[in-house]
Amino acid sequence: MPALTEPKLISGNANLTLAKSIARRMAVHRGMAVSLVDARVERFNDQEIFVEVYENVRGEDMFVIQPTSNPANDNLMELLIITDALRRSSADRITAVIPYFGYARQDRRAKARTPISAKLVANLLVEAGVDRILTLDLHAAQIQGFFDIPVDNLYSAPIFALDIEHHFKNQMDDVMIISPDVGGVARAREIAKRINAPLAIVDKRREKAGEIAEMKVIGDVSGKTCIIVDDICDTAGTLCKAAEVLVENGATEVHAYITHGVLSGPAVERVSKSVMKTLVITDSIEPTDAVRACDNIRIVPTAPMFAQAILNTWNGTSVSSLFETDTLVPIYEGLYSR
């Protein structure tokens, strides 16, 4: 049954650039003006967060766009408080659009007496009044099971596959997809299947968190254009070390495709000095000025995919259709012509 209300977008401060881009893309798809709901999300002097929504949202289908990236706690609280404001203003349905789901790396108890913070965050979102979640490349797929509400997890693999075919079209025979660890093989294999490329693995062994004791390449990368695929790049230490190991094993070029460019601490400097020719990330996290200025970091937009996913959610049509290449090509309007 078609929706009777229009989808309405509201954003916190975590990634206003992406939120505005999604609104513009929706305006193109709908052939009518789409803008963010007028609201203020501010902090008092003691850093308490205050939200005031200036427009009527009673009975509306609301989409709150807010990645819970750095500062994770502030951005998470903004999302919760915006949701509470909308729920108390009688919004009909609230979808949390979380391009980057913070705390996703704390999805299990790896040691005794440690939390499962991803589950706690899920409980907080549901208790605040979120009706459904729309996110991108969850670090662990089982996080979807932490929620008792619908969770739509979009994937960057189809977009990355299109981007690889576009930028490496004259050397596809030499392209090899690399998983930077054994745990990321499924993610890397998905892209390898889409572009019909072979797969290799960099096996890393840690002595303790933040330190890599040893790296070995499983597979022959000699003469190959290696493309490392992963979901998160934080300090870029592992990524840059993996690139060095691949070159030492005979790779002619090394590139990387990472969904969420956390890029904290010395990450940008490491990438700029790395043997990697390019690091491709999405805009799920607001890029810093340093990231934008880095010559070998390129940003792939996610607004077209999120805009279509929001419209599909509002219309009650398939979101999983966005996993298919034939669906994404027209959405990206010739950016990746085939």
Q: pLDDT tens for residues 130-139?
A: 999 999 999 9
Establish whether domains 7-155+303-331 and 157-300 are of one fold. yes
CATH class of 7-155+303-331: alpha beta
Nearest to 224 by CA among 191, 258, 196, 198: 198
Tokens 């002595």 -> residue: 207
Each residue of 271-317: pLDDT tens digit? 999 999 999 999 999 999 999 999 999 999 999 999 999 999 999 99
Domain positions in the chain are 7-155+303-331, 157-300
Distance between alpha carbon 129 and the CA centroid of its chain, in Å?
A: 23
Q: Residues at the annotated binding site for Mg(2+)?
A: 139, 181
Average pLDDT over residues 171-185: 93
Between 181 and 146, name the one with better pLDDT. Answer: 146
End-to-end CA distance of the chain: 35
Give the pTM: 0.94
Give me 315's structure tokens.
């219309």
Q: For residue 124, how many other CB atoms are within 10 A of its CB?
A: 15
CATH architecture of 157-300: 3-Layer(aba) Sandwich (3.40)
Q: Residues at the annotated binding site?
A: 46-48, 105-106, 139, 181, 206, 230, 234-238
User: Distance between CA 53 and CA 85 in Å, rounded?
Assistant: 7
Catalytic residue among 20, 119, 204, 241, which?
A: 204
Each residue of 198-209: pLDDT tens digit? 999 998 776 665
Average pLDDT over residues 145-163: 96
Q: Is 204 a catalytic residue?
A: yes
User: Distance between CA 238 and CA 130 in Å, rounded?
Assistant: 35
